[in-house]
Amino acid sequence: MMRLDPFYPILDSAAWLERLVPLGIRLVQLRIKDRPEEVLRADIRTARDLCAAHDCQLVVNDYWRLAIEEGCDFIHLGQEDLDAADLGAIRRAGLKLGVSTHDDGELSRALAVGPDYVALGPVYPTILKKMPWAPQGLERVGEWKRRVGDVPLVGIGGISLERAAGVLAAGADIVSAVTDITLNTDPEARVRAWIAATREYAT
Ligand SMILES: Cc1ncc(COP(=O)(O)OP(=O)(O)O)c(N)n1
Ligand SMILES: Cc1nc(C(=O)O)sc1CCOP(=O)(O)O
Ligand SMILES: [Mg+2]
C-alpha cells in the first residue's frame, strides 16, 4: 500500500477542502455531521474529484455506503460505526479502512478487522467533541505503536502544530488535527506550516 502522509487534517465540508487541499495536503478526511444526504453526496463527490486532481488521499468519515456509491476508496469508522457497517461489502468494494480506538478492547477489535490504519485518541484534551476518555498521553502512543506493529498509527485529539513532533517521536506515524487548523486566524498559513514541519517524516 502507498505510504500515508504524516499530516492528516480533518475538515467538515468540501468548501474547506477546496480552500486547503491545493496547498499540498496529501491525506485528508471529510468529516461531516448532521447534514441531509444530498449535501453529503454532493460534498463527497466534490472532495473525491478535488483530491484526485491534487494527488491527495481522501478518507470519508462514517458514510461508507455513500463512499462506495461515489467511488471513493478509503473510509474511517469508529467503534459504533463498525457495529452498523457491512464489512464484507466494504472489503468487496475494495475500500481501505481506518478505525478509531480509545482503549484496549477497542484496539483488539480494530486489529481483528485488518485495518489500513488505527487511530488513537484523544492524545490531548480536545474541544471538538465531548469524549468519555481521559487524554491518552504520549506513553500510550508508544504502547499503541508497539501493539499495532506495521499498521500505521494515527494520533488524534488536541494536537497542535507545536505538539505534532512530540506525538510523532512517541510512535505515531501520522498526526491528525481539526481545530488547530480550522480555528486558526490564518488556516492557509497554518496548513503550510504543518506541511513544512511534517515533511521530514514523509517518504
Ligand atoms: C483519524 C480519526 N480518528 C478518530 C476519529 C473519530 O471517529 P469516531 O469515533 O467514529 O467519531 P466521529 O469522528 O465519527 O465523530 C476520526 N473521525 N478520525
Ligand atoms: C474527531 C475526533 N476523534 C477523536 C478520537 O479520539 O477518536 S478526537 C477528535 C477531535 C479532533 O479534533 P481536534 O484536533 O480539534 O482536537
Ligand atoms: Mg464515526
| pLDDT, tens digit (0-9, with 9 covering 90-100), for 129-186 | 999 999 999 999 999 999 999 999 999 999 999 999 999 999 999 999 999 999 999 9
Atom 12, ligand 1: residue with shortest CA distance: 78
| pLDDT, tens digit (0-9, with 9 covering 90-100), for 70-122 | 999 999 999 999 999 999 999 999 999 999 999 999 999 999 999 999 999 99
* Residue 167: burial class (beta carbons within 10 Å; 0-12, 13-18, 19+): buried
CA triplet 156, 139, 166: central angle to 5 degrees?
A: 60
In this structure, what are the phi and psi dihedrals at residue 142, rounded to the nearest 5 degrees?
-65, -40
Q: Is 100 considered catalytic here?
A: yes
* Residue 23: burial class (beta carbons within 10 Å; 0-12, 13-18, 19+): middle
Q: Which three cell numbers stand for residue 42?
A: 454532493
Claim: this prediction has a pTM higher than 0.95: yes
CA triplet 33, 151, 131: central angle to 5 degrees?
A: 35
Assess whether pLDDT exceeds 90 at residue 203. no
CA triplet 96, 3, 89: central angle to 5 degrees?
A: 5
Atom of ligand 1 nearest to the CA of 78: 10
Q: Is 26 considered catalytic here?
A: no
Does the beta carbon of 110 lie inside 6 Å of ligand 1?
A: no
Assess whether pLDDT exceeds 80 at residue 2. no
Going along the chain from its start, the domains and CATH numbers come out as: 7-197 (3.20.20.70)
Q: Is 13 considered catalytic here?
A: no
Q: How far does residue 78's CA lie from ligand 1's centre (Å)?
A: 6
Give residue 100's pLDDT.
98
- Testing ligand 1's pocket by substitution, the residue of 7, 61, 133, 167 carrying the most ligand atoms inside 8 A of its CB is 61
Give residue 1's pLDDT.
60
CB 57 within 8 A of CB 2: yes
Q: What value does the mean pLDDT take over residues 41-64?
A: 98
Q: Which of 26, 48, 96, 100 is an active site residue?
A: 100
Radius of gyration of the chain (CA): 16
Q: Residue 188: enclosing H or E segment and its boundaries?
A: helix 187-198
Cα 159 to Cα 165: distance, rounded to the nearest angstrom: 10
The dihedral built from the CA positions of residue 117, 121, 126 and 131, taken in this order, carries a sign that is: positive
| pLDDT, tens digit (0-9, with 9 covering 90-100), for 4-38 | 999 999 999 999 999 999 999 999 999 999 999 99
Residue 86's Cα: distance from chain center in Å? Answer: 20
Ligand 2 site residues (CB inside 6 A) read: 100, 102, 121-122, 126, 128-129, 131, 156-159, 177-180
